[in-house]
Structure 1
Amino acid sequence: MKRLIPLVASALLVLTGCGQNDQANSTATSSPTISYTDGMTVTVVSVESANTFTAEIEGLKKQVRLVNLAAPSPNGLALSSDCLVDESKALLAEKLPANSQVTLKFDENQRGKTGYVEAAVYSGDAFINRDMARAGMVATTFSTASDKFYPEISQAQQDAANEGLGLYSRDLKCAIPALIQEQKKAVDDAKTWEVNTGQDASAEDQQKEAERQKIYKDASAFYRELKDQVKSPAQWVGSIVTLDSVSQQLTDLEQTLGDDFYPQNGTSVNQQKKSGVQSTPARPGS
């Protein structure tokens, strides 16, 4: 399955202003400028996150962001986006030690998108953006369908997911694949419960059945939430759930739920059967 990359429209906002006096204008016009050219060499000062480092460029310190990468963040709000924050930063710091020299290359589609110097970063023959994705320590993102470096970086992410590395591990509790696996196991277990749901059901049976239906509802809501993120493959969750191996996990969760899937503001097929309701429910993926 090929990942779909819709065109993402972007606008460049240019801020202009007038100085208060000639001295201010003189200061502004005398500020040094940097000519960013493909293959330029810069010196690493420090690493700030899994996709950002400070570099000395022509005597100035500038923040460089590894193009087409989204890094874990301690303030991440998206599902799993605060996963492996320290580990991913440590890996980039290992690849880009202080005072080392690296080469920057640029994609015109990406210039000025983030406020950072967006670049493909090379240390010797190593393509650092790709290698961070291959280690499973970042998600990929893009600006347009014609991003220069995205195909190679995205393939590295796909490979990491296929091997279950880093953020794509089913054993790492905060990772999306592990969270999907947890929901699937809960549904599998609930389906094995022996519960009397007839008219003579005991209070204990009724409680057990209520717990089982809650598991189905929670898993259904989780499935719907992730499935909705497929529409946004340039964002953190969308970048992960559109990967083949993770998408297959979602399909497995859907199939495990079967007729116990709850659509948005709806009732599962099995619940409808129990209540005698005859209608065609909405099914996942329909």
Structure 2
Amino acid sequence: MRPFHLLVSMLAAVALSACQFPGQDQPTVTKIVDGDTLDVDRDGETVRVRLLNIDTPERGECLYQEATDRLTELAPPGTRVHLEHDEERQDRYGRELAAVFAGDVFVNEQLATEGLARAVTYEPNHAYTSRMEAAQARAHSAHLGMHAVPTECLLPTDTARRAYELHAEDPQHRAFYRDVMRDAVNAAPNFTYKDQALEFIDGLD
């Protein structure tokens, strides 16, 4: 190929890349913090990014490590990603809120599709809510990840787990033990499985 034609081809490739996501951030991943948080480098500045409209298990909860590992696979350090933002760009902790795309993969949606994240909405950011809810529904129907965890994952304390055991052993006081379990779930800070756990408890005989 002649030098002139090579130069034209290179410039065209660069232009095409720039036009795929016009006006969007395309920083580089530097660190995976957990299943729904990562650090990126933007023009020499480290920015912490919280994935929009999803929530993955917290440290100490079931599937925490699996979600973190999967995000590492989808957007490993060194990956150039592009970010799309909604109405509110930062949360109260100063983290940037974004839909994260790695190549053709919508990372937020992929985590929800695999059952490693639940769909959440924090107003006013709801541009991707319907997609996350649809992804979550697919995972739920397929019994994937968070939608197929054992019972102990839904009971965040020893007291709740003991109440579950006694619920089976002491039929006369089952309502009391269900209340104990509900109280434990409601009191657990940032419990990712809260809604799922309460639904499980309500379904006990």
Q: Give the structure-2-normalised TM-score.
A: 0.70
Give the letter for the 1:166 counterpart.
G
Please state how far the C-alpha of 1:98 moved relative to its aligned partner.
Answer: 1.3
Structure 1 match to 2:141? 162
User: How far does the alpha carbon of each residue in 1:101-150 deviate from its partner, in whole angstroms, 9 at most, with x for none?
Assistant: 11111101x32223111100011121100111112222332122761011
Q: 1:38 to 1:213 in 2, by over 3 A?
A: farther
Instruction: Describe the SS at the equivalent of 1:83.
Output: coil
CA distance 1:91–1:217, change in 2 (3 Å): same
User: What corresponds to 1:153 in structure 2?
Assistant: 132
Residues 152, 183 of structure 1: alpha-carbon distance in 2 compared, 3 angstrom cutoff = farther
State yes or no: 1:252 paired with 2:203.
yes
1:51-130 aligned at under 5 Å gives the runs 51-74=36-59, 82-108=61-87, 110-114=88-92, 115-130=94-109
Deviation at 1:170, TM superposition (A): 4.3
Secondary structure, counterpart of 1:46 in structure 2:
strand
- Please state which structure has a larger fraction of its residues in helix: 2
1:213 and 2:172 correspond: yes
Q: Verify the 8 A CA contact 2:86 2:125 in the aligned structure 1.
A: no
Deviations 1:243-281 (A, max 9, x none): xxx84x55532xx2xxxxxxxxxxxxxxxxxxxxxxxxx
Matched, 1:42 2:32: no
Alpha-carbon distance in structure 2 between the residues aligned to 1:172 and 1:218: 15
Over 3 Å counting, the alpha-carbon distance change for 1:41 and 1:170 in structure 2 is closer
Larger radius of gyration, structure 1 or 2? 1
**Match in the other structure for 1:139:** 118
Structure 1 spans left out of the alignment, 5+ residues: 1-36, 77-81, 191-210, 257-286
Distance in 1 of aligned mates of 2:27 and 2:124:
29
Look up the match of 2:150.
171
Q: Work out the CA distance in 1 between the residues paired with 2:165 and 2:137.
A: 24
The root-mean-square deviation of aligned C-alpha atoms, in Å, is: 3.3
Equivalent residue for 1:222? 181
Deviation of the 1:173 alpha carbon: 3.1
Q: 1:86 to 1:163 in 2, by over 3 A?
A: same
% identical equivalent positions: 22
Gaps of 5+ in 2: 1-21
Query: What is the aligned length?
Result: 176
